[in-house]
Amino acid sequence: MRREDFPILKQQVHGKPLVYFDNAATSQKPQCVIDAISEAYTTWNANIHRGTHHLSQVATAKHEEARQILADLIGAKQSKEVLFTRGTTEGLNMLAFSFGEAFVGEGDEIIVSGLEHHSNIVPWQMLCERKHAMLRVIPLREDLSLDMNAYKQLLSPRTKLVSVAHVSNVLGIQNPVEQIIRLAHEQGIPVCIDGAQSAPHIPVDVQAMDCDFFVCSGHKMYAPTGIGLLYGKENWLSQLPPYQGGGEMIQHVRWEGTTYNELPYRFEAGTPDYVGSYAWGVAAKYMQECGMAALAAHEQDLTAYAEQQLGQIAGVKIYAAGQKKVGALSLNVYDAAGKLVHPFDIGALLDQQGIAVRIGHHCAEPLMGTLGVVGTVRISFGMYNTREEIDAFIAALQRALSILLS
């Protein structure tokens, strides 16, 4: 892969070559994306949509071209089904608010799964509190996969929406989203897929998947921070009330009342991050040039190799061991007496050796409860990572453990 395109990776940290294994939190940016931001502010910056002047028209065209590029990337039928957000979190909050206003009432139920990120839990809890509805949770089986029989039992006429992660940000395992969607659709229930950890790593086709909503974040996909998307099928989006009021989302504003703009503008109040959307478009094209299938195969090789190498270190426990992983895996280490080595200590000693991993609950406290730990060590990959970096990580982990277990 094109590692040399990422200038940040050329540096040393604590005198050691940087090994960046925190891609599930955010990815690094290729030079073309960094240049795109600079180009925007150097040559065509102007507020979009409302201007008749040249720069405004250029900026508007760039923003709308980016919408089309992203619609193509995720397989949306029409670009107006792609709403720009600040990220996955905002997309889920938008949906919880708008969908909740239109369709959720007292006694209704929303279903999520037991391995969700807080972003796909808390907005639904807030909605349930507001509407006196109930949040139901698909439990996990022993192997940490979703208990699909329990899911079937949870689906009922009270269920208004199902919202589940495509790929777990902690375990890296892929949920059977096609089956989840088919079972919900058999009862006329829409499904939202949290694609924060799938869209950066595997080809996504929202039409083939047949999800009703899909959310993801640009910053995990080689694009800048502050831009994301909420995809929704037109027939659903057109039934939802706006999330925020302000400029651009209106048709006419009168003291007697306001009429709203058409899709997608109805959901994009205020000045959008048009430089971010443009740079995301550049990042998406970059990913497509690399080839999504090639990216997926490369990262699949890295996760399998890392799991195999980690399996040779005494005391290492890999979660969802042996299952196919997308871009990330979580582990803990236990000493000879079976006591947990605190992930924080491992993270700090890895950092001293130039290795960036994430430790903690990964915004998935309920899952940590199921695993029975305070946190894990998570390593997560991007297109630029290599087997050699995994070797360096393994050696660094062994050094860390020799200190911690001595």
Amino acid symbol at 169: N
Residue choice 98, 217, 303, 353 for contact with ligand PMP (CB under 6 A): 217
Rounded Cα–Cα distance for residues 113 and 146 (Å): 7
Q: Report the site for ligand PMP in 301-340 (rule: CB under 6 A).
A: none
Rounded Cα–Cα distance for residues 201 and 21 (Å): 14
Residue choice 23, 27, 88, 277 for contact with ligand PMP (CB under 6 A): 88
Q: Least separation, in Å, of the C-beta of 331 and ligand PMP?
A: 18
Q: Least separation, in Å, of the C-beta of 196 and ligand PMP?
A: 3
**Binding piece for ligand PMP, criterion CB under 6 A, among 54-62, 102-110, 191-199, 311-319:** 191-199
Q: Work out whether 169 is an interface residue with ligand PMP (CB under 6 A).
A: yes
- How many C-beta neighbours within 10 Å does residue 359 have? 21
Sign of the CA dihedral with 10 first, then 308, 113, and 181 last: positive
Q: Work out whether 273 is an interface residue with ligand PMP (CB under 6 A).
A: no
Number of chain residues interacting with ligand PMP (CB under 6 A): 14
Amino acid symbol at 320: A
CA 131 from centroid of its chain's CA atoms: 27
Q: Which active-site residues does the annotation give? A: 363
DSSP-derived secondary structure for 33-51: HHHHHHHIIIII----SS-
How open is the CA angle 74-78-79, to the nearest 5 degrees?
75
Q: Least separation, in Å, of the C-beta of 363 and ligand PMP?
A: 6
Q: Least separation, in Å, of the C-beta of 220 and ligand PMP?
A: 6
Helix 343-351 vs helix 387-404: crossing angle, to nearest 10: 120
**Binding piece for ligand PMP, criterion CB under 6 A, among 69-77, 114-122, 139-147, 388-396:** 114-122
Shortest CA distance to 198 belongs to which of 229, 224, 220? 220
Q: Work out whether 196 is an interface residue with ligand PMP (CB under 6 A).
A: yes
**Binding piece for ligand PMP, criterion CB under 6 A, among 81-89, 156-164, 317-325, 382-390:** 81-89
**Token pair 């971010």: residue:** 276
Contact residues for ligand PMP (CB under 6 A)? 24, 87-89, 117, 119-120, 165, 169, 194, 196-197, 217, 363
